[in-house]
């Protein structure tokens, strides 16, 4: 079972977005360079075909980027709520927020919280403003923190 720390949740929110943005910028630079080369030497249709292929690939990647952006935006707002939840658990049970582990990167009913070596199931009310913790036991005791095996 995977558990995540406060540091992991805050650091991994935008890594994928940065990588995809860099790839799109590189592809756009290639399109611009091949377009200038094509304009300079109009007789070579190979450059035109390459440019068209790269433009199509760039538009596909932009569509994927927009979809991932909306998903990341939802996940970011959810993970922000999860950060507040972790801080609340730490305050309520007098532990450091860095010692509280959760098994999800978004706050939802039924996630498992681990602190002081014990596991608890989270029960949220309908508007996610309050919670109760119920002692629970996990079946698979192979626990991986921050996805590391």
pLDDT of residue 8: 78
The reported pLDDT for the residue numbered 132 is: 92
| Beta-carbon contacts of residue 61 (< 8 Å; ≥ 6 apart) | 20, 23, 24, 27
- The alpha carbon dihedral of 124, 125, 131, 137 has a sign of negative
Q: Are 24 and 58 in contact (CB under 8 A)?
A: yes
pLDDT, position 65: 73
Residue 120: predicted pLDDT: 94
pTM above 0.75, yes or no: no
Residue 144's Cβ-count burial label (10 Å; 0-12, 13-18, 19+) is exposed
Residues of the chain with pLDDT under 70: 10, 12-17, 38-39, 41-47, 72, 141, 146-149
């Amino acid at each position: 079972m995977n558990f995540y720390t406060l540091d992991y949740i805050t650091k991994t929110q935008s890594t994928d977005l940065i990588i995809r943005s860099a790839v799109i910028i590189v592809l756009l630079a290639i399109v611009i360079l091949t377009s200038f080369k094509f304009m300079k030497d109009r007789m070579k249709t190979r450059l035109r075909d390459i440019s068209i292929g790269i433009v199509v690939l760039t538009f596909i990647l932009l569509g994927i980027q927009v979809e991932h952006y909306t998903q990341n935006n939802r996940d970011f707002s959810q993970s922000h709520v999860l950060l507040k939840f972790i801080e609340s658990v730490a305050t309520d049970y007098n532990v450091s927020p860095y010692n509280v582990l959760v098994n999800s990167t978004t706050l939802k009913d039924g996630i498992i919280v681990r602190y002081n070596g014990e596991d608890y199931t989270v029960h949220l009310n309908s508007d996610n403003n309050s919670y109760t913790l119920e002692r629970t036991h996990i079946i698979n005791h192979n626990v991986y923190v921050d996805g590391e095996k």
